[in-house]
Amino acid sequence: MEPRDRSSYSVYQAGRGIEEVARELGRDPESFVVLSSNENALGASPAAVDAIRDHAAGVNRYPKSSQVDLVEAIAESWDLASEQVWLAPGGDGALDYLHRAMLDPGDDVLVPRPGFAYYAMSARYHHGDVATYSLSKADEFAQTADVVLDAYDGERVVFVISPHSPVGSEMPTSEVERLAEETDDETLVVVDEAYAEFSESESKRTLLGEREDVAILRTFSKAYGLAGLRLGYMMTPESWADVYARVNTPFSVNELACRAGLAALSDDEFVTETVETARWARDYLHEHLDAPTFESGGNFVLVDVSGAAPSGEGEENAGSAVADATQRRGVIVRDCSSFGLPDCIRITTGTREETERAVEVVNRVLAEVPEA
């Protein structure tokens, strides 16, 4: 017996983990700085960690009341009805619920290139088809309604990432509104705001009070530091009140994630420190790297290393050459080849010490690698 042919499906390529790299190089994990996966440089919300400890003995129970409590807390924080919050195991889980609700076999989604691979993966899992629109490096990856509309052909769901990973650019609320206005009535515009806490722009949540064709994706992975618990949610139009219960899986978010999320929502001090640290590091990367960078609203910076030529056997582009060289020197950054940006690396904002070390190492690598 064989599974269905999935050879045409793309594979999500995560940033390399510290244990994986340390084993490969035969070194102590503590000797590395990991700035490849946009994780929180300060760790997890201390309030969330305390909540996990306090509730660990209760994991023999299904997360019934905790899910309800968390949904209500999120809804209150955004001034939404509880029915508008679709709690999920990570932002990717929320995408699955959305596609269950929105897609019939053969429906299309429109996704950015470069962009998060799971938009397309989830759509295909739910028997949808995928089209793409391109963000141009030559235009500083500018995100406008026109860029999307030039590729739009009546797709059922259109994805926008603001701030966009890996490039950092943002789409203003006015442009999202125009995009929704100029697409078909049966097209949903989804704005992925996974990195929005690090931006100085306001959330697109205001559009939910005005329209029924916009939804917003959020996560606890970044600003709250709960990536390992897999906790996210979708904010949806109020008219979708009964849909979530029909597409959700039973007790989809585990008890400890719910308890941690509840605690993290109130940990304003940690979020403030996280955002301030990320913004400082972002500015430091822009100012001190010896390579062109792109403006970013997230907790990362995209770096153009096209001036560096591959120097090792099997290396196909500048991004992989620089990423490999920095890794050997103890700093793990993201080679952006899998995003279709082979001449770029992405550096997550770290602590002050980590960020300064990353800049020192990357600049040293850029000085040593022969120019293309």
Find where tokens 């400082």 sit: 280
Q: What is the pLDDT of residue 159?
A: 98
Q: What is the pLDDT confidence band of residue 2, given thresholds at 50, 70 and 90?
A: low
Q: Is residue 13 part of a domain?
A: no
Domain boundary among 233, 266, 299: 266
71 and 155, same domain (yes or no): yes
242 and 285, same domain (yes or no): no
* Cβ neighbours of residue 93 closer than 8 Å, sequence gap 6 or more: 230, 232, 252
291 and 196, same domain (yes or no): no
Q: Is residue 242 part of a domain?
A: yes
262 and 334, same domain (yes or no): no
- Note the Cα 174 to chain centre separation in Å: 22
Domain that holds residue 326: 18-37+269-368
165 and 253, same domain (yes or no): yes
Q: What is the DSSP string of 127-177?
A: T-EEEEEE--GGGTT---HHHHHTT-SS-SEEEEESS-TTT-----HHHHH
Q: How far apart are CA 345 and CA 294, in angstroms?
A: 11
Q: What is the CATH number of the domain that holds 321?
A: 3.90.1150.10
* Cβ neighbours of residue 217 closer than 8 Å, sequence gap 6 or more: 91, 94, 95, 190, 191, 192, 193, 194, 232, 233, 234, 235
Q: Is residue 104 part of a domain?
A: yes
Domain boundary among 236, 266, 296: 266
- Structurally, how many domains does the chain consist of? 2
What integer is the mean pLDDT of 182-205? 97
Q: Is residue 10 part of a domain?
A: no
Q: How far apart are CA 171 and CA 178, in angstroms?
A: 11
More confidently predicted of 167 and 370: 167
Cα 291 to Cα 56, 179, 229, 343, 364: the distances in Å are 47, 34, 35, 11, 11
Q: What is the pLDDT of residue 85?
A: 96
What is the sign, positive or negative, of the torsion defined by CA atoms of 273, 277, 283, 287? positive
Q: What is the pLDDT of residue 249?
A: 87
- Note the Cα 285 to chain centre separation in Å: 20
Q: What is the CATH number of the domain that holds 145?
A: 3.40.640.10
What is the pTM for the complete model shown? 0.91
Q: Is residue 214 part of a domain?
A: yes
Q: Is residue 289 part of a domain?
A: yes
206 and 274, same domain (yes or no): no
280 and 233, same domain (yes or no): no
Most confident stretch, 30-39, 235-244, 293-302: 293-302
- Residues 58, 63, 69, 73, Cα dihedral to 10°: 100
Q: Is residue 8 part of a domain?
A: no
The helix/strand/coil state of 234 is strand
User: In the chain, pLDDT over 90 holds for what percent of residues?
Assistant: 83
HSE, side-chain direction, 13 A CA sphere, residue 337:
11
State yes or no: pLDDT of 5 exceeds 70. Answer: no
Spatial CA neighbour of 164 closest among 341, 275, 300: 300
196 and 135, same domain (yes or no): yes
Q: Is residue 2 part of a domain?
A: no
196 and 333, same domain (yes or no): no
- 103 sits in the region (left: phi over 0; alpha: psi -120 to 50; else beta) called beta
At 116-130, the pLDDT tens digits run: 999 999 999 999 999
What integer is the mean pLDDT of 125-148? 96
Q: What is the pLDDT of residue 13?
A: 59
Average the pLDDT over each of 262-266, 303-307, 311-315 and give the range with the smallest value.
311-315
Q: What is the pLDDT of residue 15?
A: 60
24 and 87, same domain (yes or no): no
Q: How far apart are CA 45 and CA 21, in angstroms?
A: 26
Burial of 287 (C-beta count, 10 Å sphere; 0-12/13-18/19+): exposed
State yes or no: pLDDT of 286 exceeds 50. Answer: yes
Q: How far apart are CA 362 and CA 345, in angstroms?
A: 10
Q: How far apart are CA 309 and CA 315, in angstroms?
A: 9
58 and 205, same domain (yes or no): yes
What integer is the mean pLDDT of 319-341? 93
Q: What is the pLDDT confidence band of residue 372, given thresholds at 50, 70 and 90?
A: very low
189 and 293, same domain (yes or no): no
Domain boundary among 246, 266, 286: 266
- The chain-wide mean pLDDT, for the chain, equals 91
Q: What is the pLDDT of residue 144?
A: 97
Burial of 207 (C-beta count, 10 Å sphere; 0-12/13-18/19+): buried
